[in-house]
Amino acid sequence: MDIKSNHNAPTLTDPTPINKPRLGLYDALLPYSSGAVFSPGLFLKVQWKKPGLHNWLDAMKSSSPTHQKLTKASVSGIDTSSNDVATVAYCNWLVKYPSALTSFEHIMKYANSKRIALFLDYDGTLSPIVDNPDLAFMSDAMRAVVKNVAKYIPTAIISGRSRDKVHEFVGLQELYYAGSHGMDIMSPGKEGEDGNLFQPASEFLAMINEVYKSLVETTKEIKGAKVENNKFCVSVHYRNVDEKSWQTVAQYVQNILKDYPRLRLTHGRKVLEVRPVLKWDKGKAVEFLLESLGLNNCDDVLPIYIGDDRTDEDAFKFLREGGGGFGILVSCAPKESSAFYSLRDPSEVHTFIIIFSKTFFQHLINVFRMIK
Ligand SMILES: [Mg+2]
């Protein structure tokens, strides 16, 4: 599929065959096993040099903008008469990244002739962002719509959290799960069944545990800092840390990372994430799952990815650059993205999945009647 956009008016057009090699994935991937071996081509070539602390601090601030919050009243009706600076900026941004709700007819017109695969981030997409990451529960209503859509469409949750944690939050057996930013992929199955599909970072498990313990120890004196072990990556949350202490957080993480040249740091929403230097991210996880589902290289497949974070951009980029689908960015504030559409918050994600399911199901009924 070719999605064309000059970022003024994105349009879905007729599919274009995907002829290019799929990044040599099959060469690089082996099923999970203890002592898994995989292509050295998966490793990023990183020349370790001590990053400037101010660069880290700048990145922490830029990845955690304190946007002026838009009120529901000002945005839901898109009150263009408002002179509120944030509202005007958001309305202008919507021209580049139209709402997937207001563009729904256009999306469905295109999707109706396709097989769909749905990929969903968790935090900030299915659940609200909360101060305590351990309490980021999704609502029963959201769980119900995800369960329903998964009856008709292959559905995967792709999260930076550990696979077990996000599986526990979502609580649906019928989904694919990719935890640790896609480094821990599991197929649907009954509880207790080994549904591991792929764990490209298995050799980093001991190292990640070691770094997790060091980070817990060194950051315990920083009020509000929370370190989370996501199995193949570690998150250092600074959402509840006074901004005056962000530099201390950065300094402590930097001090530990300099002893681990095979680990790297990425930035999320008020979180520093330490992960292996692998060429593996949420985009690669989407690519892997499409191949596993037999949905890659098919002109009649439309993958859709919904996410809110910087790490979701890898998946948006993959879909935009030949992955045959499109991304939907969840954001209530303007930001640059490789997504094509936007939704404001998890409540709009909920609405989108409901109407998408209903419309798609009706389409299936119509097709069935025509065949009959
Ligand atoms: Mg998220």
Count helices and strands in the chain by DSSP H and E runs? 12, 14
300: pLDDT strictly greater than 60:
yes
Centroid of ligand 1 to alpha carbon of 35 (angstroms): 31
**Contact (CB, 8 A) for 250 and 60:** yes
pTM of the model: 0.81
What pLDDT, in 10s, does the model give residues 153-162? 999 999 999 9
22: pLDDT strictly greater than 60:
no
State the pLDDT confidence band at 33, using cuts at 50, 70 and 90. very low
Centroid of ligand 1 to alpha carbon of 170 (angstroms): 14
Q: What pLDDT score was predicted for residue 5? A: 43
336: pLDDT strictly greater than 90:
yes
Q: What is the dihedral of CA 189, 192, 196, 201, to 10 degrees?
A: 140
Q: What pLDDT score was predicted for residue 74? A: 43
Centroid of ligand 1 to alpha carbon of 123 (angstroms): 4
24: pLDDT strictly greater than 70:
no
Q: What pLDDT score was predicted for residue 233? A: 96
State the pLDDT confidence band at 324, using cuts at 50, 70 and 90. confident
Centroid of ligand 1 to alpha carbon of 370 (angstroms): 40
Centroid of ligand 1 to alpha carbon of 93 (angstroms): 20
State the pLDDT confidence band at 331, using cuts at 50, 70 and 90. very high
Highest-pLDDT range among 58-62, 208-212, 266-270:
208-212
43 vs 181: CA distance, rounded Å: 16
State the pLDDT confidence band at 60, using cuts at 50, 70 and 90. confident
238: pLDDT strictly greater than 50:
yes
Average pLDDT over residues 74-102: 79
Centroid of ligand 1 to alpha carbon of 236 (angstroms): 15
Instruction: Say which residue, 366 or 289, is predicted with more confidence.
Output: 289
Using a 10 angstrom Cβ sphere, with 0-12 exposed, 13-18 middle and 19 or more buried, the burial of residue 135 is exposed
Which residues, at least 6 apart from 49, have a Cβ–Cβ distance to it below 8 Å? none
Centroid of ligand 1 to alpha carbon of 37 (angstroms): 30
Q: How many of the other CB atoms lie within 10 Å of CB of 130?
A: 13
139 vs 130: CA distance, rounded Å: 13
Centroid of ligand 1 to alpha carbon of 369 (angstroms): 39
What pLDDT, in 10s, does the model give residues 343-354? 999 999 999 999
Selecting among 121, 184, 314, 345, the annotated active-site residue is: 121
Average pLDDT over residues 130-139: 93
Look at 120-134, 145-159, 193-207 and tell me which has the smallest mean pLDDT.
193-207
Amino acid, res. 27: D
Q: Is residue 121 annotated as part of the catalytic site, yes or no?
A: yes
Q: What pLDDT score was predicted for residue 296? A: 86
Q: What is the mean pLDDT of the chain?
A: 82
Strand, coil or helix: what is 268? strand
Centroid of ligand 1 to alpha carbon of 306 (angstroms): 9
Centroid of ligand 1 to alpha carbon of 145 (angstroms): 18
